[in-house]
Amino acid sequence: MFVTYNKVRMHDTDMAGILYFAKQFRYVHDALEDLIEKEGFNFHDLFNNSEFVFVIVHAEADYLSSVQVGDVLEIRVEVERLGNTSFTMAYEIFKADGVLMGKAKTVHVCLESKTRPKIPIPQSLKKIFQKYTRKAES
């Protein structure tokens, strides 16, 4: 599991002063970028100077508890499924008091960067994702 943190900013909230629900997707995508960069990849180069890209083809989220400006959130990231051309990321977001604020999943497909057909996930990335693959519960 990979863990990162994000602080709720004013621009992340709605008129009620609580986190705008769609911002949860920004937080989980930021967490994925943090994971990839921690493993030595430059996220910008990965998408602009690479023979492959991975795109999100499905996203879902559950908003379980409200948060406000200034709250620091812990985002836990795991690879739920690692296939040949796609992978599913699972995220849990916790408030500082340990309350589960939200859950999200994103499904990504690996594409060749120029003509965009599906291609196998490159071994360099697959090796990283294997480190964060959710262990089956016994």
Please, which residues have CB within 8 angstroms of residue 135's CB and are 6 or more apart in sequence?
none
Query: 108: which strand partners?
Result: 56, 87
Please tell me the distance from the alpha carbon of residue 113 to that of residue 47, in angstroms, as a whole number. Answer: 8
Instruction: Considering the candidates 14, 34, 62, 97, report the single residue annotated as catalytic.
Output: 14
Catalytic-residue membership of 14: yes
Please tell me the distance from the alpha carbon of residue 115 to that of residue 136, in angstroms, as a whole number. Answer: 36
Q: Are 58 and 107 in contact (CB under 8 A)?
A: yes
Catalytic positions: 14
